[in-house]
Structure 1
Amino acid sequence: MSHTPISVFIITLNEEKYLKQVLENLSHFDEIILVDSGSTDKTVELAKQYGATVYHQDWLGFAKQKSYAMSLCKNDWVLNVDGDEILSSDYVAAIQLAVDKQKADAYRLYFEDIFWQLPMSVNSKKRSIVRLYNKNKVQFPTDRLVHENVKVSKTAVQQSMPGLVTHYGYQSTEVLMEKQNKYSSLKAQEKFNKGKKPSWLKLFMVFPVMFVKAYFIERMFLSGRRGLVHAYISAMYGFLKEAKLHELHFVEKNRSNK
């Protein structure tokens, strides 16, 4: 059976740390499109060494940057990977087989987040994102500033890919907290731009609710103290998002009253 051609697209900014491992197995696909927004490390050099076609694009925001990268792909079937996500050779083969069978239009991938240099418990809930799809069946929500997961057509058939993608983007307490701080700012600004009003109740309740969700429902407690720290940071993201939305409205109101 001939293989259905698959394009991989990646957006990068200073991703040299894991990029070699990321690209090694992706080279089995038909093409790799890498859109860089101004790396000063060896990201572009490494990408070219592994056969990626490299484009430069000043940062447009997560959704717009990924949408642009996808538009450069020559094939209908595309796989979106970040510069710190590693797919094993067996996982790459499974992706190719799934696409060849043509039983779905989009596939949800599950992620193993490395935290404090180790995976979380095998029995904790794993993050999942639709990352493999026929690009004619999806679109990026370009009004979003963060959490830019594609919107899949209502008529599209979705399935889940077995196995896990290894993700190193949350590897330490410092890095995870920095990212959640950044993402909460973007999400609060997005809500503010859309006219969403802040809530006193949510400001008060969002931290304990999200902590219970992460620690107990998503079973982070199974990872010991690592899970406790991870759950606290997850809850802090929810609190910061709401706190920053309050701040934006507070500042705007004070400005208009002057």
Structure 2
Amino acid sequence: MKKDHQKISALIITYNEMGYIQDCIDSVSFADEIVVVDSYSTDGTYEFLKEHPKVKAIQHPFSNFTQQKTFALTQASHPWILFVDADEIIPQALRLEIRETVQSDSPHAAYWFYRKFMFKKTPLRYSGWQTDKNYRLFQKDKAKFTDKKIVHETLEVDGSSGILNEKLIHYCYKDYDDYKAKMLNYGRLKAKEDFYREKSFNYFYYFLKPAWKFFNHYILRLGILDGKKGVTICYLNALGVLERFRELKRLERKNALAYYLLMP
């Protein structure tokens, strides 16, 4: 008996993504539906999405990445979920592999994708990203985002996992200011995560961890072979770690001040 067609919902979250969103949507147009959850963009992203004939566009306030992706997941109609970032592209070979995978007789519950990182329009081959992989394809009823993380969200999978052969293309670096803002934002969100877990600010880690981040990615993970691109990426990644500890210290001071003011 012929197996029923397994439908796919492509999900994307956006905020000010006019530089990338068109190519991203084009690359997932093979999906049975495309749902984009926008965090009230100010650059015309939402207006563009509303007019797109293949897109179901929804605006939803952003709290953190995990909550936003969990909300997007509730909007999906189909059993298979393809979750991509707005600055990611599904190349043709990967599209074919995805189709074949979801129609296979014994699919895994979820699949990892390796990613090819792009610095503007040229590949970033090292700098710590050469082994990077993420869950991007999974069965809706067998996976959920854990509420233990609010950035670099983690998928909890009920079942086995596989890895697809073809790579996802990730345009990680648009320009210096954009990537710097992204790393600083990630750092602040990680600080909130630490604060909620009652992790305390530590001067030793404040100095050690940013330095280790740069050394690890630039020397041990061969960022030096990426030339000037490697220096830029590794520096900004380390800056994000530094911001994490700066923000944690600010949150602790703010909490201590609030406690002092509330004392009888």
TM-score, normalisation: structure 1: 0.89
The aligned residue for residue 20 of structure 1 is: 22
Native 8 Å contact 1:23 1:50 kept in 2: no
The aligned residue for residue 132 of structure 1 is: 137
Native 8 Å contact 2:87 2:171 kept in 1: yes
CA distance in 2, matches of 1:169, 1:44: 24
Native 8 Å contact 1:116 1:226 kept in 2: no
The aligned residue for residue 238 of structure 2 is: 235
The aligned residue for residue 112 of structure 1 is: 116
Cα offset for 1:143?
4.7
Identity across matched positions, percent: 26
Inter-CA distance 38–251: structure 2 relative to 1 (3 Å threshold): closer
Tell whether 2:215 aligns with 1:209.
no
Native 8 Å contact 1:16 1:43 kept in 2: no
CA distance in 2, matches of 1:255, 1:5: 51
CA distance in 2, matches of 1:43, 1:251: 35
TM-score, normalisation: structure 2: 0.87
CA distance in 1, matches of 2:149, 2:210: 23
Cα offset for 1:253?
3.2
Inter-CA distance 172–199: structure 2 relative to 1 (3 Å threshold): same
Native 8 Å contact 1:108 1:158 kept in 2: yes
Native 8 Å contact 2:120 2:171 kept in 1: no
Q: For each residue in 1:154-173, what CA deviation from the matched residue of structure 2 results, as whole angstroms up to 9, or x when unmatched?
A: xx111112222222242222
CA distance in 2, matches of 1:172, 1:21: 18
Alignment length (residue pairs): 256
CA distance in 1, matches of 2:147, 2:47: 25
**SS, match of residue 20 in structure 2:** helix
Q: For each residue in 1:95-150, what CA deviation from the matched residue of structure 2 results, as whole angstroms up to 9, or x when unmatched?
A: 11122223311111122222243111279614221111112221112353321232
Inter-CA distance 247–7: structure 2 relative to 1 (3 Å threshold): same
Native 8 Å contact 2:109 2:143 kept in 1: no
* AA matched with 1:183: Y
Cα offset for 1:50?
4.3
* AA matched with 2:238: A
Q: For each residue in 1:146-205, what CA deviation from the matched residue of structure 2 results, as whole angstroms up to 9, or x when unmatched?
A: 21232223xx11111222222224222221111111111111012112211122321121
CA distance in 1, matches of 2:60, 2:184: 25
* AA matched with 1:129: N
CA distance in 1, matches of 2:59, 2:236: 33
**SS, match of residue 64 in structure 1:** helix
The aligned residue for residue 33 of structure 1 is: 35
CA distance in 1, matches of 2:86, 2:109: 24
| Pairing 1:58-77 to 2, within 5 Å after superposition | 58-77=61-80
CA distance in 1, matches of 2:131, 2:225: 13
**SS, match of residue 73 in structure 1:** coil
My pick for the range that moved more, 78-87 or 170-179, is: 170-179
Inter-CA distance 152–24: structure 2 relative to 1 (3 Å threshold): same
**SS, match of residue 232 in structure 1:** helix
* AA matched with 1:115: F
Cα offset for 1:70?
0.8
Native 8 Å contact 1:18 1:83 kept in 2: yes
Inter-CA distance 48–111: structure 2 relative to 1 (3 Å threshold): farther
CA distance in 2, matches of 1:43, 1:169: 21
The aligned residue for residue 5 of structure 1 is: 7
Cα offset for 1:78?
0.3
CA distance in 1, matches of 2:220, 2:26: 36
